[in-house]
């Protein structure tokens, strides 16, 4: 498979990515801008794993930080610089970029440096849905004790004195913490290029085919634009499972930015029923007023704006918004190895205060 990305495909990928964001994955407008800019920068191709030279490596591109951070400052040149730093420091041949996840902004992660450096994007993101931590997007590398992580992060404003360039090497967990702290120092967000891996490892641990799934979901959203219920129905049919929980009005939102993350809960009133959605960047749990659990991360919990038919992420949802709550069970979501580890999922419990595993 080798697809040359044009404006229509770029829009479809980002729209579909926003659905797979599950409350996170970054701002849709930012994703559309990045995707369209990448098309303008040069010839951009999405290719299958089989199209990458066997002796090369694939690197992950991501944006790390809190989407609601008011002082965040991230530009396309930060993304390119991050990739250049990683390539120079690692010294390995890079045959392709992958995103760390699907999401409104994150599906297009790696596209700008891919176009600028004439390196393709591979249809195998580290995770097919959005997730909060770097370890979750590292395809199980944290389980390899001898693995040494290499990551390059760039972000912030030189004018404001928050500009940061960091290249870190070490254990995955420690380097992830350093990169998260870099995002805090940069005002809330950094572009990151990280962890060169072999094609064999990619095939076994990434969400192979998840980018092309995002494109197909995006095409459904393009076709049924303005019809949230129609989109939900068609996406559920395409993915092979899921349900529309209810539609209602957001009755309350609590959000705090802590340690580079957005953490809180969304309350929705739908007719005679009420729902609570907790989030750690992404939506983590969905329960009704009686405390009955309806979905748990990595299940995909989506709030579609009934007015625009677009997914509303946790950083943007506001009291009074009319939403459609949609759930896609994890069995029907393309997942990478990073969100299948019980020990990692237990981290969620300490953040949102809900039983996860």
Residue 31 lies in a domain: yes
| Full domain range(s) for residue 282 | 226-345
Residue 356 lies in a domain: no
Instruction: Decide the pairing of beta strands 94-99 and 57-65.
Output: parallel
The domain that holds 295 is classified in CATH as: 2.40.390
Residue 208 has pLDDT above 80, yes or no: yes
Q: Are residues 273 and 305 in the same domain?
A: yes
Residue 176 lies in a domain: yes
Residue 357 has pLDDT above 80, yes or no: no
Q: Are residues 205 and 232 in the same domain?
A: no
Q: Give the pLDDT score at 341.
A: 87
SS3 readout for the chain: CEEECCHHHHHHHHHHHHHHCCCCCCCHHHHHHHHHHHHHHCCCEEECHHHCCCCCEEEEEEEEECCCCCCCCCCHHHHHHHHHHHHHHHCCCEEEEEECCCCCCHHHCCHHHHHHHCCCEECCCCCCCCCCCCHHHCCCHHHCCCCCEEEEEEECCCCCCCCEEEEEEECHHHHHHHHHHHHHHCCCEEEEEEEEECHHHHHHHCCCCHHHHHHHHHHHHHHCCCCHHHHHHHHHHHHCCCEEEEEEEEEEEEEEEECCEEEEEEEEEECCEEEEEEEECEEEEEEECCCCEEEECCCEEEEEECCCCCECCCCCCCCCCEEEEEEECHHHCCCCHHHCCHHHHHHHHHHHCCCCC
Q: Are residues 73 and 170 in the same domain?
A: yes
Please state the domain count of the chain: 2
Residue 259 has pLDDT above 90, yes or no: no
Which of 179, 210, 241 is a domain's end point? Answer: 210
Percent of the chain with pLDDT over 90: 87
Residue 133 has pLDDT above 80, yes or no: yes
The residues near 75 (Cβ < 8 Å, ≥ 6 apart) are none
Q: Give the pLDDT score at 286.
A: 98
Please write the tens of the pLDDT for every residue from 155-173. Answer: 999 999 999 999 999 998 8
Q: Give the pLDDT score at 110.
A: 96
Q: Give the pLDDT score at 70.
A: 82
Residue 346 has pLDDT above 90, yes or no: no
The mean pLDDT value of the chain amounts to 95
Which of 168, 185, 210 is a domain's end point? Answer: 210
Q: Are residues 108 and 148 in the same domain?
A: yes
Rounded distance between C-alpha atoms, residue 20 and residue 196, angstroms: 24
Closest listed residue to residue 166, CA positions, set 146, 149, 145, 182? 182
Residue 221 lies in a domain: no
Q: Are residues 134 and 263 in the same domain?
A: no
Percent of the chain with pLDDT over 70: 100
Q: Give the pLDDT score at 69.
A: 82
Residue 219 lies in a domain: no
Neighbours of 126 (CB within 10 A): 34
- Tokens linked to 231: 């989109």
Please write the tens of the pLDDT for every residue from 219-246. Answer: 999 999 999 999 999 999 999 999 999 9
What is the average pLDDT across 112-126? 97
Q: Are residues 93 and 203 in the same domain?
A: yes
Q: Are residues 81 and 17 in the same domain?
A: yes
Q: Are residues 278 and 305 in the same domain?
A: yes
Residue 20 lies in a domain: yes
Vertex 109: Cα angle to 108 and 110 (nearest 5): 110
Q: Are residues 36 and 155 in the same domain?
A: yes
Which of 150, 181, 210 is a domain's end point? Answer: 210
Q: Are residues 57 and 198 in the same domain?
A: yes
The domain that holds 67 is classified in CATH as: 3.40.1610.10
Residue 83 lies in a domain: yes
Q: Are residues 157 and 276 in the same domain?
A: no
Residue 352 lies in a domain: no
Q: Give the pLDDT score at 258.
A: 84
Q: Give the pLDDT score at 135.
A: 85
Please write the tens of the pLDDT for every residue from 300-323. Answer: 999 999 999 999 999 999 999 999
Cβ proximity of 329 and 241 under 8 Å:
yes
Q: Are residues 199 and 256 in the same domain?
A: no
Strands ordered across the beta sheet of 273-280: 293-296, 282-288, 273-280, 261-270, 243-258, 322-328, 300-305
Please write the tens of the pLDDT for every residue from 67-110. Answer: 778 889 999 999 999 999 999 999 999 999 999 999 999 999 99
Please write the tens of the pLDDT for every residue from 278-301. Answer: 999 999 999 999 999 999 999 999
Instruction: Find the range with the poorest average confidence among 38-42, 93-97, 230-234, 255-259.
Output: 255-259
Sign of CA dihedral 55, 190, 303, 351: positive
Vertex 290: Cα angle to 286 and 293 (nearest 5): 30
């Amino acid at each position: 498979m080798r697809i040359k990305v044009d404006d229509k495909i770029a829009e479809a990928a980002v729209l579909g990515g926003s659905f797979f964001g599950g409350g996170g994955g970054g701002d849709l407008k930012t994703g559309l801008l990045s995707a369209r800019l990448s098309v303008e920068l040069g010839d951009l191709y999405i290719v299958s794993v089989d199209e990458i030279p066997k002796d090369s490596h694939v690197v992950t591109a991501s944006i790390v930080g809190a989407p609601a951070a008011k002082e965040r400052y991230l530009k396309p040149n930060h993304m390119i610089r991050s990739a250049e730093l990683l390539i120079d420091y690692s010294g390995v041949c890079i045959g392709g970029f992958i995103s760390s996840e699907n999401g409104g902004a994150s599906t297009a992660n790696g596209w700008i440096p891919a176009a600028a450096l004439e390196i393709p994007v591979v249809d195998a993101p580290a995770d097919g849905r959005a997730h909060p931590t770097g370890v979750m997007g590292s395809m199980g590398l944290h389980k390899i004790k001898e693995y040494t992580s290499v990551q390059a992060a760039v972000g912030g404003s030189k004018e404001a004195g928050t500009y940061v360039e960091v290249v870190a090497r070490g254990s995955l967990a420690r380097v992830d913490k350093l990169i998260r702290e870099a995002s805090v120092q940069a005002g809330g967000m950094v572009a990151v290029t990280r962890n060169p891996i072999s094609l064999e490892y990619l095939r076994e641990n990434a969400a192979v085919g998840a980018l092309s799934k995002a494109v197909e979901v995006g095409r459904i959203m393009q076709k049924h634009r303005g019809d949230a219920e129609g989109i939900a129905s068609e996406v559920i049919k395409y993915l092979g499972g899921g349900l529309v929980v209810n539609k209602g009005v957001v009755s309350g939102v609590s959000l705090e930015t802590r340690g580079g993350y957005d953490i809180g809960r969304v309350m929705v009133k739908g007719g005679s029923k009420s729902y609570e959605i907790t989030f750690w960047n992404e939506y983590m749990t969905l329960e009704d007023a009686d405390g009955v659990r309806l979905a748990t991360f990595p299940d995909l919990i989506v709030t579609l704006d009934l007015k625009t038919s677009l997914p509303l992420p946790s950083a943007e949802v506001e009291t009074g918004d009319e939403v459609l709550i949609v759930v896609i069970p994890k069995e029907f979501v393309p997942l990478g190895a990073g969100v299948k580890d019980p020990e990692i999922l237990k981290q969620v419990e300490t953040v949102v205060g809900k039983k996860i595993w």
